[in-house]
Amino acid sequence: MKVKFLAASGIIAALYIAVTMLITPFGFTEVQFRVSEMLNHLVAFNPRFAVGIIIGVFIANLNSPLGPYDLVFGVGQTMITLGLLILICKFVKNIWARLIINTFLFTFTMFIIAFELNLALELPFFWTWLTCAAGEFVVMAVGAPIMNMLNKRLDFKNMM
């Protein structure tokens, strides 16, 4: 592995963890408003960013009040959704289409988190899916233009 890849992955993981910890009360319960999720859009530009994001999710979820549940379901949801995005990106070349698809993928797959919260806290599944998906949609929709602007300045595709 290249040092540049390791460094970039570490920085992304650290950013994910730091931003998640800043908004801890809103990142782990039925109203998920995890601003760090907008970093998931990095994979729309370069699939290699997935490693740093997954590591960041894992470490951030070590601090979750749900403990092992969040390590399995939270990390699993991120891995599944980023895997689907990477597969879709092989066929979709337009960056805005990728960002929109990513927003809806992460919004839809919040059913995994709703299932986790149903198991761990006995919260109602469909209501929890709705509240988690709404928070995820807002973060991802706001994050898409932000990440696109950053890409114009930083060129994520060629960063690693």
pTM of the model: 0.94
> Would you kindly state where each structural domain of the chain is located, as residue ranges?
3-158
Candidates 1.10.1760.20, 3.40.50.2300, 1.20.1260.10, 3.90.950.10; correct CATH number of 3-158? 1.10.1760.20
Amino acid at 24: T
Question: pLDDT, tens digit, for every residue of 103-115?
Answer: 999 999 999 999 9
Distance, in Å, from the CA atom of 85 to the CA atom of 99, rounded to the nearest integer, reads: 10
Q: Are 134 and 110 in contact (CB under 8 A)?
A: no
Question: pLDDT, tens digit, for every residue of 120-155?
Answer: 999 999 999 999 999 999 999 999 999 999 999 999
- Any alpha helices (H) in the chain, and if so which ranges? 3-22, 42-45, 50-61, 68-69, 75-89, 95-108, 110-121, 125-154
Higher-pLDDT residue of 75, 63: 75
